[in-house]
Amino acid sequence: MASLEEFRAYHSPLKDFYQGKSVLLTGGSGFLGKLLIEKLIKCDVAEILLILRHKKGISPADRLEQLLGKEPVFVNYAKDPQLYHAKIRVIEGDISEIGVGIANDDLAYVYEHTNIIVHAAADVRFDESLKESVQTNVRGTQEMLMIAEKCQKLEIEETFYEPPIDPSLLIKVCEKASDADDFEILSKKIIEPWPNTYAFTKSLSEEIVRRYQAKLPIAIIRPSIITTTKEDPIAGWTDNLYGFNGVVCGAATGVLRIFHIHMDYKASIVPADTVINSTLAITWYAATHPGQEHVFNCTTDDNPVSWRETQSQLEQWKDRIAFDKSLWITTYNTTRYKLVADVLAIFYHLLPALIFDAILKLRGQRPRVLKLYQKVHRFSAVLRFFTNNEWCFRNGRMRVVLDAMAADDQRFFPCDPKAIVWNDFLDDQIKGLRLYLMRDPWSTLEWTMPRHRRRTIAHRCLLVLLYGVLFYVVVKLLHGYGLLNLEGLHENSVDEAEALLETKVA
């Protein structure tokens, strides 16, 4: 990617749109939020008003310091920390609270200085309770829009989805619900036919924003399954195991051995930096083209890849970059049939987990593999809806934005899905997951590869032993039921050997 100096030197309507602006950002400590911070710093914004909450006894200011210091995505922080500190102003708040939990003095500053609001905070857990999801994803969005109404210099706000029911009514129900257990039982009926509380509440938050479109300029950006970065600011970076990243890591570490997925369906994955650059490009486009309907799908339907193709490419690395933090070698199997996946999970996951835990007990260690697989099965269950269905996303409006971008913008804000070379991207993804997510430096290959070869030999020996025992049991059962005459087979073999010997003597 281009250096900071090179990026700052060029000018275009898109890039200049952000220069000198104050951006209010939620979710800045999250995956996409970190990428937004880095890109906005490059765009030379006046300041980023970053909403952060206290977490685990750590103040928002200390959290920011930790965030900037540990993440490689902040590529210029090591040599110039002041570049970031001069541009970021921490606003203490919590998106799940009324008024976003922002103090009056900070609110006054936000109202006076904010030009752009990027609401990137959300509870992305698929299995979160409905009440918690509504408070964060739906009411939190409503609270941000109420703040946006009072901002004196606001130019644009973005992202929402379609409504299944009245979100305002559900917010009131959640606030008044006294029995959490009863409400969660009811919530399973409320969210139908949505696959989980995350998708359901994001659709409600989209409706909340839609109701403000007469008061505020709105842009709607709908990304599909977000994965690692393609190149901006570095290739293969992520900080979470959600979605496709979790599947790849699970398979690479030998943990995920059977997965329910339709391999010939499109993998609706999109690189994280494609989403970030698309967001910034759409924000500029919507601000400079008022009066149009600004709804954009940020997907890769213009350049599709199937789940089978992703597996084929990623498997080429299984014997080349063995992960240090791995349970076994990669033995990833798939099926499109749920019953088959559930049955095979007993043999591929649960029984090996019991064996591993028994070995740990004998060593005097705490058994933990069975608990790991309980998490794996919950993870697999929430992904089934997305890996066994296929959607067609129309990208015509996004293509209009891409066509409106200058040549330099296409270079410095790369977001055209047609430019993705999937094999190169997947190569960078598996290497990035090892390096950034598993924090596994390349120096560990000195011992991970010999260990991998030993495990491969042990795995093959176990298979020979297992199939040998299975063959023996089957033969014994057939013999016991009179379906196989072993004695006759033995006598025939002896007779054939004697006849062959006599022939040779003669």
Q: Are 275 and 30 in contact (CB under 8 A)?
A: no
Domain ranges (residues) in the chain: 450-503
Q: Are 372 and 352 in contact (CB under 8 A)?
A: no
The pLDDT assigned to 503 comes to: 63
320-324-325-327 Cα dihedral, nearest 10 degrees: 60
Q: Are strands 88-92 and 295-298 parallel, antiparallel or unpaired?
A: unpaired
CA distance 449 to 193: 46
Q: Identify which of 207, 221, 394, 216 has the alpha carbon closest to the alpha carbon of residue 290.
A: 216
Query: 159: phi > 0 → left, psi -120 to 50 → alpha, else beta; which?
Result: left
Q: From first to last of the 506 residues of the chain, give the pLDDT tens digit.
A: 788 999 989 999 999 999 999 999 999 999 999 999 999 999 999 999 999 999 999 999 999 999 999 999 999 999 999 999 999 999 999 999 999 999 999 999 999 999 999 988 888 877 788 888 888 889 999 999 999 989 877 654 333 445 668 888 888 888 887 777 777 777 888 888 788 888 888 888 888 878 888 888 888 888 999 999 999 999 999 999 999 999 999 999 999 999 999 999 999 999 999 999 999 999 999 888 888 888 899 999 999 999 999 999 999 999 999 999 999 999 999 999 999 999 999 999 999 999 999 999 999 999 999 999 999 999 999 899 999 999 888 888 999 999 999 999 999 999 999 999 999 999 999 999 999 999 999 999 999 999 999 999 999 999 999 999 999 999 988 888 878 776 655 555 555 556 656 665 55
The pLDDT assigned to 155 comes to: 55
Q: Are 8 and 42 in contact (CB under 8 A)?
A: yes
The pLDDT assigned to 161 comes to: 42
The pLDDT assigned to 198 comes to: 85
445-450: long-range contacts at Cβ-Cβ below 8 A with a sequence spacing of 24 or more?
A: 445/321, 445/322, 447/324, 448/322, 448/323, 448/324, 448/326, 449/322
The pLDDT assigned to 237 comes to: 97
Residues 6+ apart with CB under 8 A from 202: 122, 137, 161
Output the six-digit token pair for 323: 């992960």
CA distance 266 to 389: 9
Other beta carbons less than 10 A from residue 211's beta carbon = 14
Angle ∠(377,381,386) on CA atoms, nearest 5: 140
